[in-house]
Amino acid sequence: MTDIRVLIVDDEPPARERIRALLADEPDIAVLGECESGIAAVGMIRNLDPDLVFLDVQMPGLDGFGVVAELGGALPVLVFVTAYDAYAVRAFEVHALDYLLKPFDRERFRETLDRARAALTERVRPGQSAGLAAPITEADPGRTPLRRLLAKRDGRLVVLKAAEIDWIESSANYASLHVGKETYLVRETMQSIEGRLDPAQFLRIHRSTIVNLDRVQEIEPYFHGDYIVRLADGQRLTLSRTYRDRLQKHFGRL
């Protein structure tokens, strides 16, 4: 693909300089410019049509999420950059590509760039610019299922594809995401995450359990109207009779 046109938005000059320095060694990157406020960012994005924007979250006047709201549906690929992890879930609700926590090293930054290259390659279509090839809209739980999310594991933030999740269980104020043998945490209630997942793929089978229907292998009767749902990896989950009708809509009568 042609050069990736980048805009850097951060109210701190050292932060902008850091990103520019890391981009300097990338031959396929063209930095269109930089700015220090959300208001300026809105104008520059509209006028310059960048493919990729490194966007600070906390800025005076108009923050990173305010920029997204001002621009509406047509957005470039977004990478949020911040020193705080509290905004991670919200960032992915507006379909940010990545969430860079300051301070980040060169290796982590290059992982983000590689992800951006792949995303832009998928979005480009003949006759369209890379930045607006596939307009992104703000998340609407009723229309746009969650495709990826940010989760914690061993003190690191990891980007997960929703389709990779085997099952989810409630864990106090968090939800535990089980992906193969690994477990990740998101600070979100079961009701919230259930509302954002694809209902054709993920189903609540218990007040504390959501399952990826693609992983279900067997369903067997248990006690008092409950059932055991066995996943392809052998994991056994309880299907409460309260949620039995939901499962029957997908698999037929039990």
CA atoms within 13 A on the CB side of 172: 2
What per-residue confidence (pLDDT) applies to 132? 31
Q: Where are the alpha helices (DSSP H) in the chain?
A: 13-23, 38-48, 64-71, 88-93, 106-123, 190-196, 244-251
User: CA 41 to CA 71: how far, in whole Å?
Assistant: 10
| pLDDT tens across the length of the chain (254 residues) | 468 999 999 999 999 999 999 999 899 999 999 999 999 999 999 889 899 999 999 998 899 999 988 887 668 899 999 888 777 777 767 778 888 888 889 988 998 898 888 888 765 433 333 333 333 333 343 446 788 888 888 777 888 889 999 999 987 668 899 999 999 988 777 887 888 889 889 999 988 899 999 999 999 888 767 889 999 999 999 998 888 887 777 777 65
What per-residue confidence (pLDDT) applies to 156? 79
Q: Return the structure tokens found at 128.
A: 């369209």
Domain range summary for the chain, segments of one domain joined by +:
4-123, 156-251
What per-residue confidence (pLDDT) applies to 135? 33
Same fold yes or no, 4-123 and 156-251? no
What per-residue confidence (pLDDT) applies to 229? 93
Could you list the beta-strand ranges (E) of the chain: 4-9, 29-35, 52-56, 77-82, 98-101, 148-153, 156-161, 167-171, 174-179, 182-186, 202-206, 209-212, 216-221, 227-231, 236-239
**Domain 4-123, architecture per CATH:** 3-Layer(aba) Sandwich (3.40)
User: By the 8 A CB rule, do 166 and 231 touch?
Assistant: yes
What residues contact 149, with CB distance under 8 A and at least 6 apart? 89, 92, 159, 160, 162, 186
DSSP character for 163? G
Residue type, 73: G
What per-residue confidence (pLDDT) applies to 217? 93
User: CA 71 to CA 34: how far, in whole Å?
Assistant: 17
**156-251 has CATH 2.60.40.290 classification:** no
User: By the 8 A CB rule, do 162 and 175 touch?
Assistant: no
pTM over the 0.85 mark: no
